[in-house]
Chain A
Amino acid sequence: MAHLMIFHKNKSILKRIEKINNGDINERNKFIQDYIPFIIKNVSKILNMYIESENSDEYMIGLEAFNEALDKYDSSRGSFLSFSILVIRSRLIDYKRKEKSSIEIISFDQYKENEGLREYSELAIDEYNHSTDLQLELMEFKNKLKGFNITLNELTDHCPKHIDTRTEAIKTAKYIYEHEKEKEFLYQKKRLPYIQIQKDLCQSRKFLDRNKKFIIASVLILDSNLDLIKTYLCDVERRSKNDL
């Protein structure tokens, strides 16, 4: 049965490639869009590292290689997907080789004389500092969680699965963060101010108990300098509707 399914899948891919090779640009774009997870998976597997973002070089090369495979493929080369993996691998290896060979050692005098180089290195230092600050903030977040007897491990187990529950829990966290008295209560007593939350937000005790670790973690994030994660919390509802 599995072989039959693969046969049918390959047949439908062939049909689509035929349309693409006949000049159908919409079909080409749609096809590439459909196979983005496949491209991400194989780029990550080949390099044994995660892609940073849609703007990263490795991701762009993967996309271009997949596009190239569409142009070069014919049925004598076996399955299209296996062929595309070969092309992606080949392009990534080329890229890595070029990256290595472009590293050059310059003298301190060259550095002093070249303004562009200085600007570039200052940017790199800024980025390094920012990254160090972020790491320190994350470590502080981990320590603060410890003060509430919460570990990051537990958050992976106790994170609400449904987006509506998470949104509601974040709403609770924002409420606590924005109300000085309730925030003070949380930090002093190391537990949620149940009475006030139930009164003002009409949330049940059961909901609060089930999600208390997530709520507390969210309050700590809002009360930190983790700006990027704070924007995640603020935009959670919008982001969940706009998937990649």
Chain B
Amino acid sequence: MIYKGLIIDISDDYAIVLTDKVEYYKVVKKENLSLGENIIFLEDDIYIDKIKNIKKIVSYAAVLLLIIISSVFIPNANKKIEYINAPVAIISLDINPSVEYEIDKNNRLINYTEKNEDASLIVNKEMIGKEIKDILYETIENAKEFNYLKSNDDFVIIGVGLIDNSFDLSLEVFEKDLLEKLKGNEYYNDINLYVIEANKDDIEASRENKISIGKYKLCDNYIKKHQDADFNHIKNMNVKELIQDTINEGNQYRNRGNKDLVPQNNRINQKVNSEEETIQDNKQNGGSQKGHRKQHQKGKKK
């Protein structure tokens, strides 16, 4: 193929050309090249970064060697291998966009999953490696910018689920860290934050229902109060609708007007896994409940 273009840069080993089809190429240096010169060149003239290529080949070879060595020389290869950066917890964030983050034991992001299309606007790969509280703050910032948080009627639901039980993640500390970060900026004064805890069964059930753990817990909470409701219908409701129930019960939210943390005996952020609590709540509300969960919660132990 024949290319025509303009030399836009010259370095030690190559020149960079912008072609008339608006492609950028590195070409082999020849005599009398000057900036702004028009040239015609061929495929053979395209510069191949030999050092980059060699580095690539060497790194592939090193990885292959490592795999071979570990499978041949390390005994008990069937034993569980502990990875340095294995996920220890899942944090979810739901506004309208819904995203889940996997964090390691240093509270740093390993990976994230966009649970719906809108999520792609508020998260990006540059977040990987950063601390979760900074990421949540950045995500909320992006959500505000893209108008997902417009008024003080909007909610941010944070779900927290432990994968590794030995990992120490205190819900209160986690929430406090995030609130402090948000408090530092009056732009986020009106954000309503709701942090909810999930267990392994909840994580599994949320996967099966293809929603985030935070949203799953809200749906679970909702269905306890509306036992005739269909879970498949409920999971398509937005978080504002789901949380309306709890609002109607007159509960306060963290961070509304920058209020201090609400005392422990407040309903918000209490663990909702306990069946006894559920039965007690329902008795107080005057309804008759069966005290077991609906079939959508596959594999849950009571």
Task: Point out residues on A near B: beta carbons under 8 Å.
Answer: 36-37, 40-41, 44, 47-54, 59, 131, 134-135, 138-139, 141-142, 152-153, 155-156, 159, 163, 166, 170, 194-195, 204-206, 209, 218, 228-229, 232-233, 235-236, 239-240, 243-244
Task: Point out residues on B near A: beta carbons under 8 Å.
Answer: 1-2, 4, 6, 8-9, 16, 18-27, 30-42, 44-45, 120-121, 124, 146-147
- Residue picked from B40, B41, B42, most chain A C-beta under 10 Å: B40
Cβ contacts under 8 Å, A51 to chain B: 39-40
Given A138-B35, A152-B24, A205 and B44 contact (CB-CB distance below 8 Å): no
Asked if A232 and B45 sit within 8 Å, CB to CB, the answer is no
Asked if A239 and B20 sit within 8 Å, CB to CB, the answer is yes
What's the count of A-B pairs with C-beta under 8 Å?
Answer: 104
Asked if B21 and A37 sit within 8 Å, CB to CB, the answer is no
Given A229-B18, A244-B4, A50 and B40 contact (CB-CB distance below 8 Å): yes
Question: Could you pull out 18 A-B pairs where Cβ atoms are within 8 angstroms?
Answer: A37-B1, A37-B42, A40-B40, A40-B42, A49-B31, A53-B4, A53-B40, A131-B34, A142-B8, A152-B9, A156-B26, A166-B23, A195-B146, A195-B147, A205-B121, A218-B22, A235-B20, A244-B40
Q: Choose from A134, A205, A232, A235 the contact partner of B18 (Cβ within 8 Å).
A: A232
Cβ contacts under 8 Å, B35 to chain A: 134-135, 138-139
Q: Choose from B21, B39, B120, B124 the contact partner of A232 (Cβ within 8 Å).
A: B21
Given A156-B16, A244-B4, A50 and B9 contact (CB-CB distance below 8 Å): no
Q: What CA separation (Å) do A140 and B9 show in the bound complex?
A: 12
Q: What CA separation (Å) do A217 and B21 show in the bound complex?
A: 14
Smallest distance from the beta carbon of A56 to chain B beta carbons, Å?
9
- Residue picked from B4, B8, B37, B45, most chain A C-beta under 10 Å: B8
Asked if A152 and B45 sit within 8 Å, CB to CB, the answer is no
Cβ contacts under 8 Å, B18 to chain A: 229, 232
Given A40-B2, A138-B35, A228-B6, A159 and B40 contact (CB-CB distance below 8 Å): no
Q: What CA separation (Å) do A153 and B86 show in the bound complex?
A: 35
Q: What CA separation (Å) do A44 and B28 show in the bound complex?
A: 12
Cβ contacts under 8 Å, B1 to chain A: 37, 243
Asked if A236 and B21 sit within 8 Å, CB to CB, the answer is yes
Cβ contacts under 8 Å, B39 to chain A: 50-52
Smallest distance from the beta carbon of A103 to chain B beta carbons, Å?
16
Residue of A nearest to B145 (CB): A195
Residue of B nearest to A53 (CB): B38
Q: What CA separation (Å) do A44 and B37 show in the bound complex?
A: 15
Asked if A229 and B6 sit within 8 Å, CB to CB, the answer is yes
Q: What CA separation (Å) do A152 and B26 show in the bound complex?
A: 10
Asked if B121 and A194 sit within 8 Å, CB to CB, the answer is yes
Residue of A nearest to B18 (CB): A229
Cβ contacts under 8 Å, B6 to chain A: 228-229
Cβ contacts under 8 Å, A50 to chain B: 27, 30, 33, 37, 39-41, 45
Cβ contacts under 8 Å, A229 to chain B: 6, 18
Cβ contacts under 8 Å, A240 to chain B: 21
Smallest distance from the beta carbon of A19 to chain B beta carbons, Å?
25
- Residue picked from B1, B16, B23, B41, most chain A C-beta under 10 Å: B23
Q: Choose from B20, B24, B33 the contact partner of A156 (Cβ within 8 Å).
A: B24
Q: Choose from A142, A232, A243 the contact partner of B9 (Cβ within 8 Å).
A: A142
Cβ contacts under 8 Å, A159 to chain B: 22-24
Asked if A52 and B21 sit within 8 Å, CB to CB, the answer is no
Q: What CA separation (Å) do A26 and B2 show in the bound complex?
A: 23
Asked if B32 and A138 sit within 8 Å, CB to CB, the answer is no
Asked if A52 and B40 sit within 8 Å, CB to CB, the answer is yes
Q: Which 3 A-B pairs have the closest CB atoms?
A: A50-B39, A134-B36, A155-B24
Q: Choose from B9, B22, B146 the contact partner of A233 (Cβ within 8 Å).
A: B22
Given A37-B42, A48-B31, A50-B41, A232 and B36 contact (CB-CB distance below 8 Å): no
Asked if A41 and B21 sit within 8 Å, CB to CB, the answer is no
